[in-house]
Structure 1
Amino acid sequence: MLESYWVNKKYNRVKSIKLFFRNCFDFKTNYISYLLIILFLGLYFIYPFIVGKITVETPLYIAILMIPLMIFGGGMEEPGWRGLLESELEKKFPFPLAAIITSGFWSIWHFPLFFIEGSSQANVNFIAFSVLLIGMSFAQAVLYNYSKKVSLSILLHCAFNALQISLVFKETIITRIYVATIMIISSLLIHTLLKKKYL
């Protein structure tokens, strides 16, 4: 959380910590932005659901109640990833390349967690994890590109993390490739439709 503020402050994206937190929790936007969040969550789980690989480990309402707590479980990374890095990269590179580069930094950021006993990444394949982050990066990029609200990126990140507590699927490389591919193709299509103002 503090590192996100420090980086945004350093690059003159925010002038004070008060403004930083105001941006992080400003959820006033149009309904399309919230529909995008629901859509991307659905796209994330649709393949494992169709092939019957999802199991409900905890009641869904528990996961929903956990969403605010995930602010401290990854959500506050978003002012750095989407609020700063992604938006700056898009000034220099095409949208798809900017999303891929961001996902690379995102993966590297999580790499030490794979060696920490008890972390959520401890028993996960790093390559499979990185592949999935590419798909998630595209979804997050589309949402931020459209809404210009880092608060919604935080909400989507929190929802991704929370729902995985309830809706669990075996995270093999193949499964993650399918999930990432669905999210990338769908994100590019949605991005194009939004740019052409068809949505």
Structure 2
Amino acid sequence: MKSKAIIKMYLLPTLLQITVIAALVGILKLRGFELGYNSLLGILFISLAGASSALWGIVYQVKCHSKRPLEILKDFFNIKQSVKSYTLVLIFLVLDFSSVILNKGLKIESLLLPLLLFFKAIVFGGIEELGWRYSFQPTLEKKIPYIASTLITFVCWGVWHLLFFYIDGSLGNIHVLGFLLGLLTNSFILSALFAYSNSLWICVMTHALINTFSQMSINDNVLLDYIAKVICIFLAVYLYHVSQKKRTIDK
């Protein structure tokens, strides 16, 4: 029942909402409206589109898991997690950004900037985890193997992102191949961390940190970056299977 409910109550309404908004944006652009971040109407569309994943993730949790909004909020900000979980986040981040680090490509103009970008990234990024990792993929994994579930999540998340980039006007500036490889890597990293920690906050924080460091990255080695991402994916698959074995033993 829940595998069908996740499609009906989460995936379809999430994609429908952002697709309808993208269509409206397209129509208004053809009629000469200025949208994107330069207009109040554009910001409204961007906000409604960006909130779609979180909104329907919450609806799914309330309807299918009988969770109260305050309980979901507590999960979202539950920073009390194991040292091992935070250590794994650090390992993945160092690996994922190893090319940038080695090429001294992190631009930090002030100590306040990363903090501000992080809090911004929680709102514009981290909230997506209410849908994709907290609700969608764990439900898929009950019926479909982990790698297949991650790939399905990646495709759906990728479509969602491309529609969002069209809505906010940044689609033309995106290097699609590089972006999709990064998104695929993030799909594995975040899903493995959730499988290990069973923590929404760990995924929210990691997602926000990835977005923060991506915004501050100005230089890297493409080949080294691709190698690092492949290593991250293999490590994520390994971590997932370790997590499953641990749960089997605990039972």
With the length of structure 1 as denominator, give the TM-score of the two structures: 0.83
Encode CA deviations 1:104-151: one digit per residue, 9 max, x unaligned: 1111111124435654x5412223211211111111011100111111
- Residues 27-38 of structure 1: pairs in structure 2 closer than 5 A: 27-38=79-90
User: Which residue of the partner structure matches residue 204 of structure 2?
Assistant: 154
CA separation in 2, counterparts of 1:95 and 1:124?
A: 29
Gaps of 5+ in 1: none
Q: By how many angstroms is 1:171 displaced?
A: 8.8
1:13 aligns with 2:65: yes
Look up the equivalent residue of 2:78 and give its one-letter code.
D
1:90 aligns with 2:128: no
1:24 aligns with 2:73: no
Deviates more, 1:15-24 or 1:27-36: 15-24
- CA RMSD after TM alignment: 2.5
Instruction: Please point out which of 168, 171, 174 is paired with 2:218.
Output: 168
- Residues 49-198 of structure 1: pairs in structure 2 closer than 5 A: 49-50=101-102, 52=103, 54-59=104-109, 61=111, 62-116=113-167, 119=170, 122-169=172-219, 177-197=226-246
Deviates more, 1:107-116 or 1:89-98: 107-116
Secondary structure at 1:33 match in 2 = helix
Q: Percent identity?
A: 25
State the structure with more CA Rg. Answer: 2
Residue pair 2:107, 2:217 contacting (<8 A) in 1 also: yes
Residue pair 2:96, 2:225 contacting (<8 A) in 1 also: no
Encode CA deviations 1:85-107: one digit per residue, 9 max, x unaligned: 11011111111111111111111
Residue pair 2:75, 2:199 contacting (<8 A) in 1 also: yes
CA separation in 2, counterparts of 1:124 and 1:2?
A: 21
Where relative contact order (Cα < 8 A, 6+ residues apart) is larger, the structure is: 1
Task: Indicate the structure with greater helix content.
Answer: 2
Secondary structure at 2:218 match in 1 = strand
Look up the equivalent residue of 1:69 and give its one-letter code.
K
Q: By how many angstroms is 1:57 displaced?
A: 2.5
CA separation in 1, counterparts of 2:89 and 2:110?
A: 17
**Residues 156, 107 of structure 1: alpha-carbon distance in 2 compared, 3 angstrom cutoff:** same
Residue pair 1:128, 1:171 contacting (<8 A) in 2 also: no
CA separation in 2, counterparts of 1:175 and 1:112?
A: 29
